[in-house]
A and B are shown apart, each in its own frame.
Chain A
Amino acid sequence: MTAGNNKWIGQSVERLEDPPLVRGRGRFAADISFPHQLHMRIVRANHAHGRIAAIDTSAARALPGVVAVWSAADIADIPPIDFREGRIPALEPYRQPVLAIDKVRYVGDPVAAVFAEDPYVAEDAADLVVLEIEELPILLAAEAEPGEFSAGRNTEVAVIHQGYGDVDAVLRSAPLVVELELGIGRHSGVPLEARGAIGRYDASRDILELHGAAKVPHRNRDLLARMLKLTPSSIHVHEAHVGGGFGIRGELYPEDVLVCVGAMRLGRPVKWIEDRREHLIAANHSRQQLHRIRAAVDNDGRILAIDDRYFHDQGAYVRTHAARVVHMTAGILPGPYRVPAYRAVGHFRLTNKTPAATYRAPGRYETTFVRERLVDAIAVKLGIDPNDVRRRNAISPDEMPYHRPLEALGEEIEHDSGDYVGLLDKLLVALGWDKLKAELVARRAAGEAVGAGFAMFVEKSGLGPADGVRIEVDTSGAVELITGGASLGQGFETVMAQVCAEMLGVDYRRVRVTHGQTDRIAYGIGAHASRATVMTASATHNGALKLRAKALDMAAELMQAPADALDIVDGKVVRKDQPLGPSMSLGEIANHLAPTSKTLGDREPGLSAEGWFRVEHQVYPYGLHFAVVKVDRETGGVQVESYAIAYDIGRAINPALVKAQIVGGFAQGLGGALLEEFTYNERGDPLATTFADYLMPTVRETPKVDVILREDYTSPLNPLGIKGAGESGITGVGAAIASAIDDAIGMPGAVTQLPVTPQRLKQILNGRSS
């Protein structure tokens, strides 16, 4: 395999996605319309918990322009939304019905669906639907005693146990035990484009189309097929442009099912576009966990055991992710450190809030905060530098691959490669840490409340088990790469085109990348868990090499030269020793491979190939975050003055895109650390229902990030040696900023709850002075 001279791989080329987007020619869900379409509007519960005594839709139905108003009774044959990975009987009772049956369980719970000629009228009609609710007790804290979910069932869905070793024995005999209670506030991805779905039934072909899908089109198609009792091949899921996903978009939601059922039963396309208030109360929440953690430590700061009991606030139902996040939390909490004995007990509990699921670095943002607070606490107790605690506990390169008898995302954890302490050292050098530390000391002496904090973490990416692509070259030489992947705005097309182009020998701009269309390729697991670059790029690599071989095989015969004497340069097959000599374009070769071509011989027709990549294990990239913050002691305001992220990505196909992903992730992490929170009053009314209450960082709050990208340890698990990067920017932000705030105010361990709002910080500061 001599192909590849880094003409495209490793280059920060301009994105293929950009030209239509900067012209406003993108096609997002709201931009898609069909003739005679109906507009759907969801009537949502205004009570956090109650029995549905009556639903009166008569006034709504009477409004001119309203075609139908459904409640659960009208779709009694549609089952609740199942789990992405398949059936999990123990969790089935907690699934969300498409429209509420008997009870409403959170403000925002879909109770009825209005179908009207116009979205304004649909909203008018929704206002006319009258819900009679008999209120039930409200549960808003996962750590409180569980309540009743349904007859004979309480709100503790499951208890997760992961661990190894005799934790109690170690705790009893340990020189030191550190104990913390830590909370991460409820927040989520909140992309700038709210959700949208258009269902259309093409009766002429008996095909049901769902437009606006994202992230996992094939999985959603299969789940829909099961729910609606259709064959998977009779459902086409189409992804258009997507305005950000971050983990929360693309799961199958009630509204996606409703537009499909509506289209089929009402005989017209059904369009649903979510508004912002709806999004903040109905799209997946995330992150809210409370951890009560203890660590047994020796006098040098080495961790001997960790015992963590945590409460995962799942909200009102278990959605498509089942127990993925709460389970993963237990598996990955140890992070980059050796933990000789470990016990994690996770309470998977329901509350009367919007249901929760994955959000960028799910379980890792949370556990990195918890684990790194622990590191700081250990350091303070022993009077040593937290980075020395990290050095003493971090797994070393010669211990790789490092296996842990813990599970996350369906596989046992095995760190494949890396040098965690080595990266820390590189970061410290890049920061000029000694000098910087002295500067901070001087500034504090002069009265400023400034401080610095670090966080170290291991990421997971490249979730398999398999991905495949098909590559086709037409008679003009244009290349189409058909994937089962998905694009949420991260530059998926460009990266795949770069890999394809490099291995095949064409200009990346000649590669059209197709994704998110289930009628173009039979299998796909989308784009999530930072898997796209690892899995789809690896499959593309393999497919492109096969295609190349096929082209050279045909060319060899036509050019009267052995295949290994030929190369493909810029779409033309040339002799290696005569690069400017006679050539054949890939288009001509495609012609020769046409089914009726005289030169086809015994070959399979068409210049096309499939490529597959299978992997048993995920890869484990790793990184460090560093923050410098300044605290306003009088207001409790926090300003992040500077930030650095060091990350080993194995190999970066497009460094600019990787950096962009990391910086974007950082901004979201910043929001979670200081600004964003879904809060509720005692009646279970959500308080953050507008962008004036759910605060996301603007350019003013977001400092520049110094991204130190390393390619020290390519992954041995895939042909390109790549790891993923989609989540690395966000993972450590809560931890690093918390640590820096403690340092700035001179109160170790002060921050135990995210987000650190000015009011919370002021309370902490007041508490000290009183």
Chain B
Amino acid sequence: MIEKREITLTINGRSHGVRIDPRRTLVDAIRDDCGQTGTHIGCEHGVCGACTVLVDGEPVRSCLMFAVQADGRQIRTVEGLANGAELHPLQQAFIENHGLQCGFCTPGFLMLATGVLEREPDISDEDLIDVLSSNLCRCTGYENIVKAVRAAAAKMSAGR
């Protein structure tokens, strides 16, 4: 009999005490135990990036972590990007640049870009493409995603 564990998942600054099986993935715990369904599951084997969240500031594939491994860490998801009614520059840029169609991959791209731009605001074009090649999108053909991230990067840089 596998014992459940009591852990605390701190998501966007709020603590969630949950009791879960060790095998419960972080993405399932975020979505179903903590009710934050903005993070999506696209493949569950670490390729598509739809499940990307930030753990202690780093972009991570939450389908490849077990929730128990995130006990006590700072997790940030798409729900935490906006500041009330005020959208994050990346969110605004995605809207303005038509960077989404079905929206399923969008939270993953937003968190990937947030993690990277916060760490490296002046990232080169080539490195940015390299980072964005981490995630799959099936609707947009990527062009507008790249535009949106670049536009947001410029804003975030200027705002500094």
Contacts and interface: CB of A to CB of B under 8 A. Distances in A.
Do A and B touch each other in the complex, judged by CB within 8 A? yes
A23 B98 contact: no
Contact of A691 (B47, B105, B132): B47
Contact of B101 (A120, A190, A664, A699): A664
A192 B104 contact: yes
Contacts of B78: 22-24
A25 B103 CA distance: 10
Interface in B8-38: 21, 23-24, 31-32, 36-38
Interface stretch (B65-73, B114-122, B141-149): B141-149
A706 B127 CA distance: 24
A545 B23 CA distance: 58
Interface in B73-93: 77-79, 81-82, 87, 91
Given A243-B104, A489-B101, A190 B47 contact: no
Contacts of B101: 244, 489-491, 660-661, 664
Contact of A664 (B107, B139, B146): B139
B154 interface: no
Nearest to B146: A699
Contacts of A172: none
B138 A696 contact: yes
Nearest to B91: A22
Contacts of B77: 24
B147 to A, nearest CB: 10
Nearest to A661: B101
B141 A705 contact: yes
Contacts of B60: none
B136 interface: yes
A14 interface: yes
A244 B96 CA distance: 21
Interface residues of B, number: 55
A21 B87 CA distance: 12
Most buried by A among B87, B95, B104, B129: B104
A27 B104 CA distance: 10
Contacts of A664: 101, 138-141
B96 to A, nearest CB: 7
B103 A696 contact: no
Q: Is the interface of A mostly helix, strand, loop or mixed?
A: loop
Contacts of A705: 141, 143
A656 interface: yes
Contacts of B81: 23
A691 B48 contact: yes
B45 interface: yes
Most interface-central of A33, A666, A699 (chain B CB within 10 A): A699
Interface in B32-61: 32, 36-45, 47-48, 50
A623 B37 CA distance: 40
A702 B137 CA distance: 11
Nearest to A30: B41
Contact of A14 (B21, B23, B96, B133): B96
B44 A275 contact: yes
Contacts of A399: none
B82 A192 contact: no
B95 A18 contact: yes
Given A31-B37, A691-B47, A696 B102 contact: no
A699 B79 contact: no
B77 to A, nearest CB: 7
B31 to A, nearest CB: 8
Contact of A276 (B42, B94, B135): B42
A120 B104 contact: no
B139 to A, nearest CB: 5
A471 B100 CA distance: 27
B141 A702 contact: yes
A374 interface: no
Contacts of A14: 95-96, 98
B141 A192 contact: no
Q: Which has the most chain B C-beta neighbours within 10 Å: A193, A665, A696?
A: A193
A19 B78 CA distance: 12
Contacts of B95: 14-15, 18-19, 22
Most chain A CB inside 10 Å of its own CB: which residue of B95, B101, B104, B140? B101
B100 A21 contact: yes
A15 B106 contact: no
B43 A691 contact: yes
B153 interface: no
Contacts of A31: 31, 37
A665 B101 CA distance: 12
A120 B24 CA distance: 8
Most buried by A among B42, B43, B100, B141: B141
B141 A667 contact: yes
B104 A28 contact: yes
A704 interface: yes
Given A31-B37, A244-B104, 20 more contacts: A14-B98, A15-B95, A22-B95, A22-B110, A24-B38, A25-B38, A27-B37, A28-B37, A28-B104, A30-B37, A30-B41, A191-B104, A192-B139, A275-B44, A490-B139, A664-B139, A690-B45, A698-B135, A700-B133, A705-B141
Interface of B: 21, 23-24, 31-32, 36-45, 47-48, 50, 77-79, 81-82, 87, 91, 94-96, 98, 100-107, 110, 129-130, 132-146
Name the 6 nearest CB pairs between A and B, nearest first.
A24-B38, A489-B102, A243-B104, A21-B103, A24-B78, A663-B141
30 contacts: A15-B95, A18-B103, A21-B106, A22-B95, A23-B38, A23-B87, A24-B37, A24-B39, A24-B78, A191-B138, A193-B40, A193-B102, A246-B138, A276-B43, A489-B102, A490-B102, A657-B98, A660-B98, A660-B140, A664-B101, A664-B138, A664-B141, A666-B141, A667-B141, A691-B45, A698-B136, A699-B132, A700-B133, A702-B141, A702-B142
